[in-house]
Amino acid sequence: MRDDPELDTDDRALIDKLRALPPEGNEPDWDQLAAAIRAEVGDHAPRPWWRNWRWIVPIWALATTATVALIVLRHERPAPPTHEHAHKIQRDPGVSAKPAPAMWLDGEELDLDDVDEPALDELDLEARAALSPEEDVTGGILPVADYGWIDTLDDDAIERAEDWLKRKRS
């Protein structure tokens, strides 16, 4: 206050007088006042209410993040099969370990591995010629998985095929 340039000498003198004034009233016994305050407030320092809950926010944030991460990861890729699941797949009766029969001919199973290649080629050529003698068939005559082509044969073709089979038997 002494360095305040806005105050002149008279101002400072007045302020000094004010400061020299005795305090109003009779001051109490300070020890008594301190003891009274201590008795009033007790011996334990209060804690702010949020101190007891200060872990709630981080724990809540962590739990939420973990939940969201779990949901996202579970939806991203299917879970790998468990050991028990793998056994179940192996035991599935729909899947057979036995190889499918190669071919049936005249009510008997024909193992193509036992038939020699030239004989098969000859049989193939004969079949082609019987089905369409005027047509030059270059591809395979029997579709592997579909016998629907039989429905497309006309009467003459079926008749020629039957004749060929009769000749074969004899």
Partner 1 sequence: MQALALPALLERVTDTLDPDRELAERFRSGDRSAFDAIVRRHQKGVWRMVRRYVRHDADAFDVTQQVFVRAFKGLASFRGAATVRSWLYRIAINCALSWLRDHRREQPAEIAEDSLTAMPVAPANIASDQDGTRLRAAIAQLPPKQKLVLELRVFDDLSFKEVAELADCSENTAKVNFHYAVKRLRDILGGPDAR
Give me the residues that bind partner 1 (CB under 8 A), please: 1, 6-7, 10-11, 13-15, 17-19, 21-28, 30, 33-34, 36-38, 40-41, 43-48, 51
By three-state DSSP, how is residue 161 classified?
helix
**Residue in 130, 128, 124, 136 with CA at minimum distance from that of residue 165:** 130
Phi, psi angle pair for 108, to nearest 5°: -125, 145
Least separation, in Å, of the C-beta of 52 and partner 1? 12
Of the two residues 8 and 151, which places its CB atom closer to partner 1 in the complex? Answer: 8
Q: How far is the CB of 60 from partner 1 (least distance, A)?
A: 22
11 or 126: whose CB is closer to partner 1? 11
Please identify, using beta-carbon distances, which residue of 48 and 94 lies nearer to partner 1. Answer: 48
CB of 57 to partner 1, least distance (A): 17
Residue among 20 and 97 whose Cβ is closer to partner 1: 20
Query: What residue type is 73 in one-letter code?
Result: L
CA distances, 46 to each of 77, 141, 152 (Å): 52, 97, 98
Dihedral (C-alpha) 15, 19, 20, 22: value to the nearest 10 degrees?
140
Tokens of 62: 């962590």
Q: Which is nearer to partner 1, 37 or 89 (CB)?
A: 37
Tell me how far, at minimum, the Cβ of 53 lies from partner 1, in Å. Answer: 13
Q: How far apart are CA 84 and CA 104, in angstroms?
A: 39
Output the smallest distance, CB 29 to partner 1, in A: 9
Structure tokens at 108: 């008997």
